[in-house]
Amino acid sequence: MSAVIETSGLTKRYRDLVAVNDLDLRVEEGEIFGFLGPNGAGKTTTILMLLGLSEPTSGNARVCGFDPTRDPLEVKRRVGYLPENPGFYDDLSGGENLLYIARLNRIPETEAHRRIVRLLEQIGLGNDGDRAVREYSRGMKQRLGIAEVLVKEPRVLILDEPTLGLDPDGAARILEMIMGLSREHGLTVLLSSHLLHQVQQMCHRVGIIVKGKLIALGKVDQLGSAIFKERQWNFLVEVEGRADGLESELRELPGVADIEPRSRGWFLRCVRDVRPEMLSLVSRKGLSLLQLRSEDATLEDIYLKYFREA
Amino acid sequence: MSVVFWKELADHFSSRRFMILLAIIVLTGVWAIYASGQSIRQDAESAPPDFVFLLLLTSQSGGLLSLATFLGLLGPLVGIMLGFDAVSGEYARGTLSRVLSQPIYRDNLINGKFLAGLATVAILWASVLLLVIGLGISLVGFPPNAEELWRMLIFTVVGILYVGFWLALALLFSLLFQRTVTAALGSLALWLFLTIFAPLIAQIAAALIAPDASTPEAVVRQVDITNMISRISPSALYGETVQIVLNPLARVLGAALPEQTQGILLTPLALSQSLLLIFPQLTTLIALVAVCFGISYIKFMRAEIRA
């Protein structure tokens, strides 16, 4: 099966800043690929190069078999791009915005109207299609953006921070929509984000990019062991009883790197198995142990390790 | 490209600022025509002048500006208003990368915008002129003759070209500055400079170059140099062109010595002769528009779109 998106040594240099450094990427058909990285890591620059909106300094890319620098129109016909903070023509209605994009894609009028009505229903803007976009909320605009990328019935969706600025409910709905559509239409999705949990939830594979370099690539659960040489030990502990001073004493246990309070206990990040010391500490203080759970290295650990360093 | 063109045209015609401008132009135009029409009518009954309609456009009734001059002052503002947020507006609204990620050639966007602006100007200018003709016919009582119609047509074309320059300039600034306000202010500042200050500077410069103003020949020389320098400003080009086109009796730009004008019969020039006189001005205007748009085109094609 040939890759839908493929880059080889893709590099973009702006005078003295290397925004994208020798990127080798491969996204297969039908998969949801997460492009993870902090702000300024080079995600948007890479996406611009994939679309032919920016010229790479060296290396090449292929999208659906076409070179975006040489055949940008072929690429744009097959790719639906939703940029960060999409803007719309505020004076026009949602439906009219979609119609403009449909016309630019040379979709015949009757077919365009049919698709627009169906899409507006699908994203839940059926009644608001005729209102001016000026009146839309952030969530509605984001959903309109999704409808817009689907109007041309693309093979690939490239979404740059699609849930930025949305409340958790709105974000969850958008992600569900994307996952559903991907399954339903067999779309390939390249999702760029700096929000880990969402990427973790929905992506088959993840690529982590920091300062222009791809530092990890693979399935979410494989990623942890790929990156960390030493094993990470994470524990979730919940106790009952008077727990004054427990946190500071836990912090002082040798091998505990970080403690985070959770709703009913603490989340500990350690470099070794501290469970024996933890249990004796808890019983010494006369507390009852409600829960002690060990968790493998999560994407968050990777995030903290690499993004903090960056 | 036609998709972009029609959308932009619709946007222009439905925008509020356009309506305001249109209202101002039409109202003032109607009033100016009425005022000059009345005075001409009285003369027409006694001794009908040859080119009544042209007079309608160029006469200054009651010390106010003639309609042609008024259009020449307001035209650039219309052009600037239509062009200043052409590209910077897209950046501000975040729509540029969305539109450019559709399968259209990038130059279709800027071409469509520019042509839509020109079309709007053309419709505006032509409407005003048709209004003038209509009102003129009803006020004066007879329709314009063929020569007058041709001259008015050329006046329309020149007017569209002139405003087209300001449109192209505003488009260029909109591209260069990427911020709507800066583009607007820059265009307006340039307009102010070229319309009001350039003639003054031209005079001062001419006085410096040819200070001697004693003999009539020297005076003429000074006036000639003033005119030459002031031709840098497109408003001067417009002014001269309009002067010759709308006034068939005019045969000289600038000052002339009495020896040169002695013996000339004051018959009106044929249209082709008038055009020959202002041919350099016309070509310069066309060149200015082309250069401004050309620079905008190149800049836009090479820009990296991040918005």
Q: Which of A39, A43, A69, A89 to mutate to test the interface with B (most CBs of B within 10 A)?
A: A89
Chain A nearest-CA distance from B94, in A, is 4
> pLDDT tens across B223-249, in order?
887 888 788 888 888 888 887 777 777
Which is more confident, B45 or B30?
Answer: B30
Q: Are A53 and B94 an interchain contact pair (Cβ–Cβ within 8 Å)?
A: no
Query: Are residues B11 and A91, on separate chains, in Cβ contact within 8 Å?
Result: yes
Q: How far apart are CA A6 and CA A4, in angstroms?
A: 7
Q: Give me the helix-helix angle, A94-104 and A109-122, nearest 10°.
A: 130
CA atoms of B125 and A263, how far apart (whole Å): 71
- What pLDDT score does A81 carry? 92
Asked if B307's CB is within 8 angstroms of A86's CB, the reply is no
Distance from CA of A71 to the nearest CA of B (A): 10
Which residues lie across from A270 on neighbouring strands?
A233, A256
pLDDT for the residue numbered B291: 92
* Res B56: pLDDT: 67
Measured between beta carbons, the chain B residues lying within 8 angstroms of A89 are: 11, 93, 95
A-chain CB neighbours of B305 within 8 Å are: 48, 53-54
Look up residue B72 and give its two tokens: 């020449």
Q: List, in order of start, the domains of chain A with CATH numbers.
A: 5-226 (3.40.50.300), 228-309 (3.30.70.920)
8 A C-beta contact, residue B180 and residue B95: no
A–B interface: beta-carbon pairs under 8 A? 63
| Percent with pLDDT over 70 in chain B | 83
Distance linking the first and last C-alpha atoms of chain A: 35
Mean pLDDT of all residues in chain B? Answer: 80
Residues of A in contact with B95 (CB under 8 A): 87-89
Q: Kindly state the average pLDDT of the residues B243-267.
A: 70
> Is the whole-model pTM more than 0.90?
no
Q: For residue A52, what is the nearest residue in chain B, using CA coordinates?
A: B101
Q: What's the 3-state SS for chain B?
A: CHHHHHHHHHHHHHCHHHHHHHHHHHHHHHHHHHHHHHHHHHHHHHCCCCCHHHHHHHCCHHHCCCHHHHHHHHHHHHHHHHHCCCCHHHHHHCCHHHHHCCCCCHHHHHHHHHHHHHHHHHHHHHHHHHHHHHHHHHHHCCCCCHHHHHHHHHHHHHHHHHHHHHHHHHHHHHHHHCCHHHHHHHHHHHHHHHHHHHHHHHHHHHHHHCCCCCCHHHHHHHHHHHHHHHCCCHHHHHHHHHHHHCCCCCCCCCCCCHHHHCCCCCCCCCHHHHHHHHHHHHHHHHHHHHHHHHHHHHHHHHCCCCC
Among A197-201, B20-24, B38-42, B143-147, which is the least confidently predicted range? Answer: B38-42
Find out whether B85 and B174 touch, Cβ atoms under 8 Å: yes
pLDDT value of position A52: 86
CA distance A183 to chain B (A): 24
Across the interface, whether the CB atoms of B98 and A148 are under 8 A apart is answered: yes
CB-based contact B104 A104, cutoff 8 Å: yes
Please choose, from the candidates A158, A182, A7, A187, the residue with its C-alpha nearest in 3D space to the C-alpha of residue A79.
A158
Q: What is the nearest CA distance from A55 to chain B, expressed in angstroms?
A: 8
Contact B100 A53 (CB under 8 A): yes
Q: CB count, 10 Å around CB of A103?
A: 19
pLDDT one digit per residue (tens) for chain A, 310 residues: 578 888 888 888 888 888 888 888 888 888 888 888 887 788 888 988 888 888 888 888 999 889 988 888 899 999 999 988 888 888 888 888 899 999 988 889 899 999 889 888 888 888 878 888 888 888 888 888 888 888 888 989 999 888 887 788 878 888 888 888 888 888 899 988 877 777 777 888 888 888 888 877 888 767 655 555 555 678 888 888 777 788 888 888 888 888 888 877 888 888 777 888 888 888 888 888 888 887 765 666 666 766 665 5
For residues A301 and A232, is the Cβ–Cβ distance under 8 A?
Answer: yes
CA A42 to chain centroid: 14
Looking at the DSSP assignment, which residues form a beta bridge with residue A188? A156
Q: What pLDDT was estimated at residue B290?
A: 92
Q: So what's the pLDDT on residue A130?
A: 84
**CB contact at 8 A, B158 and B282:** yes
What is the predicted pLDDT for the residue at B31?
A: 74
Instruction: State the pLDDT confidence band at B272, using cuts at 50, 70 and 90.
Output: confident
Q: Which of B93, B95, B103 sits opposite A73 (nearest CB)?
A: B103
- By C-alpha distance, which of A194, A192, A199, A162 is closest to A306? A194
pLDDT above 80: residue B46 = no
* CA-wise closest residue to A105 among A65, A48, A151, A144: A151
Closest by alpha carbon to B150, among B138, B135, B133?
A: B133
Instruction: State percent of chain B over pLDDT 90.
Output: 3
User: Cα-flanking dihedrals φ and ψ of residue A52, to 5°?
Assistant: 85, 10
